[in-house]
Amino acid sequence: MPLRSRIVRAIMHSALVYGFFAAISFAQSPAPTSATLHEIHVDGAKKLTEPQIIALTELQLNSPVDRDALQAAADKLIRTGIFANVKYDFHTRGDQVSVTFQVEENSLLTAFFDNIPWFDDSELAAAIKSTNPAYDGTLPESGPLVDAAADAIKSLLASHKLDVTVEHQVMQNPIGDANVQSFSIEGAALQISSIEFGDPALDSDRAVQAHLGELRGKPYSRLAIDIFLTEQVRPGYLKKGFLRVKLGPPQVRLTGAPTEKLPDRIPVYIPVDASAVYHFSGVQWSGNSVLSTDDLNNLFGLKPTELADGQKIFAGWDRIEEEYGRRGYLEAKVEPAESFDEATHTVSYKTRITEGAPFKMASFVLTGLSVAAERKVLETFPVQPNQLFDKSKFETYLSRLQNKPAQIFGDLPVHYDNVGHWLRTNPAKGTVDVLLDFK
């Protein structure tokens, strides 16, 4: 559900709860329309502390409050973007009132600073924390706390004679699975002039050097640098058994007074901590029944005492999932947990297999094709209705559709640029529908 919809629903919910409790509490204590705020409590918080949440309400103990003030405090919590839902209860005793806020927190996103090279992350965090004492490196998707963080960064930049616009957006983490709250600046034409690595061996690495042109002379961007490190540098270390290599974060090393304007061309230094070379010591499997332990070990491929080639390890997990997919187990999961032994420089894994149930082919949903072309797809698709769905055959067929369509359509005049594809599973029936959209 979009954040705006969640906020509207939460405010409505809060208003309804407010009316409910107000009707009861003030019906029982009808005398004053306001009372002295005696206590504030918070239930349901997981990430923020009770004092931090109380501070966000802006309520003050021992001050007079009425129904509108309590509702306004709940609304302020919702508007921060931190909470998916807020409701509250209160009770009066004489001329004193105690209130308890029940909160449900939204998922918070790690802050990511893209092209703000003058300051390191700790300095930017300190600037944000100066206006938001509860800041811990994470922020909501949107709301006043995010806007205030952007304003704090802008003020810090202005102190260094940079008149720029600070923007923020939610984006995919370039080196992880979760989203991040990314801050970037507009109005500063900063380019990467050079890249220096903390490991001199990278200066003679032909593969890395061949790709440095993707960064040199290009606009300064942490996102671009992190993607480069992930795609072009990290694989080389993993292949050699450096499974715990640390790359970055990138640093900008400038000289001169800190109040001077940033130069247009930025030298970048990337720290590298290769750590130790690891060897593989084994895998403990659990949860498997369709594939035996011997099957899993053979598919995984790596043998004990071998160099722990990270690329081979990742490929082993993929092969196992592919084998389950070939047998119709489309929702099988392979979840390895690694364990490092620093005394022997070995790595082992405890790997949980969640096999799920097999799926059979049900039906097609085709869009963007003529009737004659649809008939060709139905005739050539390698899995027939009621057969176990072999995902590997499906993926091979997709490749033919994209790269060698004549093998499927022959002389039919079929034209498309790409094929959208989805598998719609029905766990209750154990079936899967294939959806293909030709565009």
| CATH 3.10.20.310 holds for 360-438 | yes
Pairing mode, if any, of strands 179-186 and 165-172?
antiparallel
**Which residues make Cβ contacts (< 8 Å) with residue 382, sequence separation at least 6?**
390, 393, 394, 396, 397
248: left (phi over 0), alpha (psi -120 to 50) or beta: left
Q: What is the pLDDT of residues 104-131, one digit of tens each?
A: 888 889 999 998 888 888 999 999 999 8
Give first-to-last CA distance, the chain, whole Å: 28
Q: CA 226 to CA 224: how far, in whole Å?
A: 6
pLDDT at 259: 59
Q: What is the pTM of this model?
A: 0.73
Q: Please list, residue by residue across 199-212, b when 16 or more beta carbons sit within 10 angstroms of its beta carbon and e when fewer do.
A: beebeeeeebeeeb
pLDDT of residue 243: 97
How many CB atoms are closer than 10 A to CB 225? 24
Determine the topology of domain 108-188 in CATH: Ubiquitin-like (UB roll) (3.10.20)
What pLDDT is stored for residue 84 in this prediction? 84
Does the fold of domain 279-354 match that of domain 3-105? yes
User: Which residues, given as ranges, of the chain have pLDDT below 50?
Assistant: 1-32
Look at residue 117 in the predicted model and tell me its pLDDT.
83
Cis status, amide bond into 427, omega within 30 of 0: no
Judge: domain 279-354, CATH 3.10.20.310.
yes
Domain segments of the chain as ranges = 3-105, 108-188, 279-354, 360-438
List the Cα angle 144/50/64 in 5-degree steps: 80
Q: What is the pLDDT of residues 61-77, one digit of tens each?
A: 999 998 889 999 999 89
pLDDT at 258: 56
Enumerate residues 6+ apart whose C-beta is below 8 A from 177. Answer: none
Residues 6 or more apart whose Cβ sits within 8 Å of residue 288? 296, 353, 355
Distance CA 415, CA 438 (A): 9
Sign of CA dihedral 307, 309, 313, 316: negative
Q: From CA 216, how far away is CA 71, in angstroms rounded?
A: 54
What is the fold, at CATH topology level, of the domain defined by 3-105? Answer: Ubiquitin-like (UB roll) (3.10.20)
317: nearest Cα among 336, 294, 340: 336
Distance (Å, rounded) from C-alpha 295 to C-alpha 331? 19
Say what the pLDDT of residue 17 is: 37
